[in-house]
Chain A
């Protein structure tokens, strides 16, 4: 994944979580919906952040398949 795509993924995921928190605090979004947004956004944020930090584009590896 390209770095700029990873950054976009991270920002969208983080933005969704923060927006859900703000809407929940304003009593616009119910608690269960806020939790649901976090359940979807948090994994994307974790992977997006890691990919943005260090992802490289290159040849894939072939794992050891046995003798």
Chain B
């Protein structure tokens, strides 16, 4: 498990680096090297670190520990074939963690980032809807059961493509530089993580690597099924490249528009799941 944990951190960060590189190439910039996010994590861990005077020290440090802890737990749940509802719960918990990040420092930029994180909770509704659509077909929310179902009936990506799109929207909302990245938009400096520098930011980078790996792995297991390890990594890479195209070719929405678009998508998905429920 230690090996899986370390691999997930570094591969997740590598994927985020590839994400930045692809966006840069689409915008005709050279872009950073693909391992830039790994270097970021190392760089931050070597920077001078302290806690701002205005911060709530326990919360300021505690949220970093919680952020890494919850995504480590999420990784173990996914690789052990645990419940999709736990992943959903951890995703929601991450929103609270982002809020804690923002409020803990006493900085207005952080606070605005934290508040935006809460209002962008609309992105969770498509995730809940895709979970409901999966449950209608598989009659189970255990990832191991969902994988077994797909071995018999084929990938859920083909059976319920709109649910896969809903989950894909969730992935977009979690990728940096995306249309829904309102919590980190530049008018807020770095949003909720503005005041978390040095070791604290290095911890947050570890969390980001884990989160990216876990969400992509969950998407693959739930909508495509169990693949050989190398093919899983290749599929993750392809998914990230498609996400990079979406992020590079779409403007960052204003907070109001972001929530409106996500709520409309969630509404459409609710209708879809309603129809699926009636037909099944």
Contacts and interface: CB of A to CB of B under 8 A. Distances in A.
B206 A63 contact: no
Contact of B46 (A40, A53, A58): A53
B37 interface: no
A66 B108 contact: yes
Contact of A42 (B45, B68, B107): B68
Contacts of A63: 52, 54, 105-107, 110, 194-195
B11 to A, nearest CB: 16
A47 B1 contact: no
A63 B104 CA distance: 12
Interface in B39-63: 44-54, 61
Contact of B107 (A18, A24, A50, A64): A64
Interface residues of A, number: 30
A62 B54 contact: yes
Contacts of A44: 65
A42 B199 contact: no
Interface string B65-81: 11111001100100010
B57 to A, nearest CB: 10
Contacts of A35: 1, 73, 76, 80
A42 B5 contact: yes
A47 B51 CA distance: 13
A34 B73 CA distance: 11
B46 A54 contact: yes
B146 interface: no
Contacts of A60: 50-53
Given A56-B50, A63-B105, A63-B194, 7 more contacts: A43-B68, A43-B72, A46-B68, A54-B48, A55-B199, A61-B53, A62-B54
Interface of B: 1-2, 5, 44-54, 61, 64-69, 72-73, 76, 80, 105-110, 194-195, 198-200, 202-203, 206
